[in-house]
């Protein structure tokens, strides 16, 4: 970087990258909000592994980033560490025209009518999960929600139904997901030293899952009712690009993995946060139950929006600059990262009075301005699964609050920490079930 370029960076914390990284891992929201207060709408943070990045917390500047020419903003390369599991054709890893081609193919199954149709599956999966809860059960909601959202992706995206093949696939995919810290290892440590070495074990798990996915793709392609099926894989098998070409098996495999990875933990975490906020707020909880009893879903949707405002799962979209770019008056040099600062914009008092308060009512009068509410990022990389994720969160919350009572086991809201690239409740939102469809498994111990 030249001296002239270096001087164009906005101010920011001056300590070593290791310190900023530790702060971001342990106290991400407090750190970002503190830096914003101190340095203003654009601030520069140096982070280990990510390098120099500029957070942008001004909605007008974010609008400029997310609209118009985005050819100098790359997102795919930032996700490169995920390549071993996602595969080279994943929409998350591509940039430019190849990215747009995949995106156009993937979008239709995640729009309006299609997502509406998935609500029944979500309700069935949730009912089966909640039916297992008994009075006195103690668990972390994040773990239960993780199992539930996995099941939803298996049914909605992979189109799996019950049965032995499904179970086999579920086991194979879970084994890959459970290896996730492994595939984030730096290049140098990725050595297959046999089935007992971490990378070797991961490679074998991945090969087993890939074989099953390819088997499923071939089977589905040959299915007589393919044209009538509504799961995402079947819709993708019928999709054609602008030249009338179908997706190749390799593309299908990579996108299925991408949707599993992008859509399962994120939604589970969003749900854990939703319950952590809602269960501590008797007024909001009572109002939600009343409105649902009256057949009105507006407040339910507002609970989802307010959760994703106060507890966004991703703190900032990520873009690498391939050319210098002027953002809010700063000429930023090529080679750095720019983060539309989702978590900071969501706490701006000029957009959300008393921003720290959980107040779903804010969203009752209509949707927030596009660039003031960004839990799903924006522009040509906006989350493909946004409508599905919101439908899923709404249906799960509806079922839980209308069928059971669960109480948080911690006196204070679960602190927010960073794990990998997502914000998550440090303790996973531990709860105890106090009313359920089924009686207690054992005597309830007073808390």
Question: Which residues are near ligand HEM by CB under 6 A?
Answer: 75, 91-92, 103, 157, 258-259, 262-263, 266-267, 270, 313-314, 317, 375-378, 381-385, 388-389
Residue 189 Cβ vs ligand HEM, minimum distance, rounded to whole Å: 26
Report in angstroms how near the CB of residue 99 gets to ligand HEM at its nearest. 6
Which residue, 135 or 343, is less far from ligand HEM as judged by CB? 343
Integer Cα distance of 340 and 350 in angstroms: 17
- One-letter-per-residue 3-state SS of the chain: CCHHHHCCCCCCCCCCHHHHHHHHHHCHHHHHHHHHHHHCCEEEEEECCCEEEEEECCHHHHHHHHCCCCCCEECHHHHHHHHHHHCCCCCCCCCHHHHHHHHHHHCHHHCHHHHHHHHHHHHHHHHHHHCCCECCCEEEHHHHHHHHHHHHHHHHCCCCCCCHHHHHHHHHHHHHHHCHHHHCCCHHHCCCCCCCCHHHHHHHHHHHHHHHHHHHHHHHHHCCCHHHCCCHHHHHHHCCCCCCCCCCHHHHHHHHHHHHHHHCHHHHHHHHHHHHHHCCCHHHHHHHHHHHHCCCCHHHHHHHHHHHHHCCCCCCCCEEECCCEEECCEEECCCCEEEECHHHHCCCCCCCCCCCCCCHHHHCCCCCCCCCCCCCCCHHHCCCCHHHHHHHHHHHHHHHHHHCEEEECCCCCCCEEEECCEEEECCCCEEEEEECCECCCCCCCCC
Question: By C-beta, is 135 or 213 nearer to ligand HEM?
Answer: 213
- Of 259 and 302, the one with the shorter C-beta distance to ligand HEM is 259
Judged by CB, which is closer to ligand HEM: 10, or 385?
A: 385
Which residue, 420, 110, 372, is CA-closest to 269?
Answer: 420
**CB closer to ligand HEM out of 135 and 416:** 416
Query: CB of 332: closest distance to ligand HEM in angstroms?
Result: 17
CA–CA gap between residue 53 and residue 379 (Å, rounded): 19
From the CB of 385, what's the least distance to ligand HEM, in Å?
2
What is the smallest separation between the CB atom of 232 and ligand HEM, expressed in angstroms?
Answer: 8
- Minimal distance, residue 193 CB to ligand HEM, in Å: 33
> Least distance to ligand HEM from the beta carbon of 294, Å?
27
Closest contact distance (angstroms) between CB of 65 and ligand HEM is 9
Largest CA distance in the chain: 70
294 Cα distance to chain centroid: 31
Nearer to ligand HEM, 358 or 376 (CB): 376
Distance (Å, rounded) from C-alpha 156 to C-alpha 174? 16
State the nearest-atom distance from the C-beta of 344 to ligand HEM, in Å.
14
CB of 432 to ligand HEM, least distance (A): 25
Q: Whose Cβ is closer to ligand HEM: residue 22's or residue 380's?
A: 380
Nearer to ligand HEM by Cβ, of 317 and 424: the residue is: 317
Rank residues 342 and 404 by Cβ distance to ligand HEM and give the closer one: 342
Q: Which is nearer to ligand HEM, 275 or 376 (CB)?
A: 376
């Amino acid at each position: 970087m030249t001296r002239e370029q270096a001087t164009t960076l906005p101010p920011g914390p001056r300590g070593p990258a290791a310190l900023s990284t530790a702060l971001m891992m342990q106290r991400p929201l407090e750190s970002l909000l503190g830096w914003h207060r101190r340095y203003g709408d654009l601030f520069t943070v140096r982070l280990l592994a990510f390098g120099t990045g500029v957070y942008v917390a001004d909605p007008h500047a974010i609008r400029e980033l997310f609209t118009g020419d985005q050819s100098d903003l790359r997102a795919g390369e930032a996700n490169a560490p995920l390549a071993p599991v996602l595969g080279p054709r994943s929409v998350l890893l591509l940039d430019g025209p190849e990215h747009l081609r995949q995106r156009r193919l993937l979008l239709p199954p995640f729009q309006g009518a299609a997502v509406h149709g998935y609500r029944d599956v979500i309700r069935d999966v949730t009912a089966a999960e909640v039916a297992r809860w008994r009075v006195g059960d103690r668990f972390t909601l994040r773990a239960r929600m993780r199992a539930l959202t996995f099941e939803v992706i298996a049914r909605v995206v992979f189109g799996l139904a019950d049965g032995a093949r499904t179970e086999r696939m579920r086991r194979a995919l879970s084994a890959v997901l459970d290896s996730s810290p492994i595939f984030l290892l730096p290049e140098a440590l990725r050595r297959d030293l046999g089935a007992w070495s971490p990378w070797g074990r991961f490679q074998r798990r991945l090969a087993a899952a890939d074989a099953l996915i390819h088997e499923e793709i071939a089977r589905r392609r040959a299915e007589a009712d393919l044209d009538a099926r509504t799961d995402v894989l079947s819709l993708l098998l019928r999709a054609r690009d602008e030249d009338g070409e179908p997706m190749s098996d390799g593309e299908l495999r990579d996108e299925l993995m991408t949707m599993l990875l992008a859509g399962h933990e994120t939604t589970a975490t969003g749900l854990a946060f939703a319950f952590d906020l809602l269960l501590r707020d008797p007024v909001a909880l009572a109002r939600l139950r009343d409105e649902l009893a009256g057949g009105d879903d507006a407040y339910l949707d507002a609970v989802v929006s307010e959760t994703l405002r106060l507890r966004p799962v991703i703190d900032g979209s990520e873009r690498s600059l391939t050319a210098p770019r002027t953002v809010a008056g700063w000429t930023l040099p090529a080679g750095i990262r720019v983060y539309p600062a989702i978590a900071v914009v969501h706490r701006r008092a000029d957009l959300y009075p008393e921003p720290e308060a959980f107040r779903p009512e804010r969203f009752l009068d209509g949707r927030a301005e596009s660039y003031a509410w960004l839990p799903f990022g924006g522009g040509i990389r906006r989350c493909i699964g946004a409508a599905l994720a919101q439908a899923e969160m709404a249906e799960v919350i509806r079922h839980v609050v209308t069928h059971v009572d669960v109480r948080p086991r911690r006196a204070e809201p679960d602190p927010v920490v960073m794990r990998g690239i997502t914000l998550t409740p440090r303790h996973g939102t531990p709860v105890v079930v106090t009313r359920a469809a089924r009686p207690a498994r054992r005597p309830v111990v007073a808390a």
